[in-house]
Amino acid sequence: MTLPKLAAAVVVALLATLWFAGSAAATEARATVALNVRAGPGTEYSVIDTLRAGEVVDMQDCRASGWCFVQHPGPDGWVSARYLTAAPGIPLPGDDCSFQLVIGPDGPRFSITCGDRRFPGPGRDRACFYDGPDYTGEHYCRGVGTQNVLGPRKNDRITSVRLFGDARVRLCADRHMGAFCRDLTTSEARLGPFLNNNVSSLRVYTGSLPEFRQACFYDGPGYSGEYFCRREGTVNVLPPRADDRITSVRLRGGARVRLCTDTYMRAFCRTLTADTWRLGPGLNNRASSLRVD
């Protein structure tokens, strides 16, 4: 079947009778009109903000009465579900198809309905990010895509990550997917010291990412334990989470790495051109600067 352009029709139906509270996962939604954000789930509550038509929000919880609690850059609150649809960029498979809001055990999400058939919709492959260990505390979720700059309320606040569907995630300590990065292929109840509360950009993806020149550094022998990866460039001063903690090194994409025991690439240095299962006594748990070429 050929895929037509994205249809404008949206059908919103709430199929659950229970309100799933804060532990449920969120999904992205888009306002179809300028939409009032209210202090509670109903028109009797005061208006505390207004969404722009087309604004994308995090849909946290929904009630069978037709109201959903959303988070966005502004006061969070309740909006009418009939004016929400899936985030932009998701194609519909036919002219008779529409998005349908469903509340399930993992929170509100959108499925795709075509006549009497229902298909998994956007949100099946996604990652949820929590500011507490064991998937606790404040959280938000993202489908496939890249966030090069996390907002102030999310920057350096990720402690645990839960993956759904076939989603994987790359977490990076710097903006624009730079500096120390790590890929997660399974949920993690607690990030290690390299990235715990130290994530400023991320990418949710499925499958595998194209390999690029980089080196990954592990605090255990045999590429075990906590680790971070670094693309081409020099780190003159390793941060406290990584300083004097490198034990093994794995190279990708033809990379090589130079490790030095002092900052600014000084003192005793060694260049690695192949994976190193365990650094020798001169460098094991002693590297304070590095360069990836």
Q: Does residue 3 register a pLDDT over 80?
A: no
Q: Per DSSP, which regions of 105-240 are E strands?
A: 107-114, 117-119, 126-132, 136-143, 145-147, 160-164, 168-172, 181-184, 201-205, 214-220, 224-231, 233-235
- With residues binned 3-state (H G I as helix, E B as strand, rest as coil), the percentages for the chain, rounded to 5, are 5, 45, 50
Contacts of 57 (CB under 8 A, 6+ apart): 28, 29, 30, 31, 51, 70, 71, 72, 79
Pairwise CA distance, residues 260 & 286, whole Å = 8
Residue 280 pLDDT > 50:
yes
For the four alpha carbons of 242, 244, 245 and 246, in that order, the dihedral sign comes to positive
With a cut of 90, say whether residue 174 has pLDDT above it. Answer: no
| Closest among 174, 285, 273, 290 to 232, alpha carbons compared | 290
Paired sense of beta strands 27-31 and 56-63, if any: antiparallel
DSSP strand pairing (181-184 vs 201-205): unpaired
Other CB atoms closer than 10 Å to residue 122's CB: what's the count?
Answer: 21
Tell me the pLDDT band of 23, cut-offs 50, 70 and 90: very low
pLDDT at 163 over 60: yes
- Domains of the chain plus CATH, in order, are 27-119 (2.30.30.40), 126-205 (2.60.20.10), 214-292 (2.60.20.10)
Give the residue among 208, 207, 253, 209 at the shortest CA–CA distance from 230. 253
Which residue did the predictor score with more confidence, 234 or 114?
234
Percent of the chain with pLDDT over 70: 84
Residue 138: the pLDDT is 86
Q: Is 19 a residue whose pLDDT tops 70?
A: no
Please compute the mean of the pLDDT values over residues 220-233 and round it to a whole number. 88
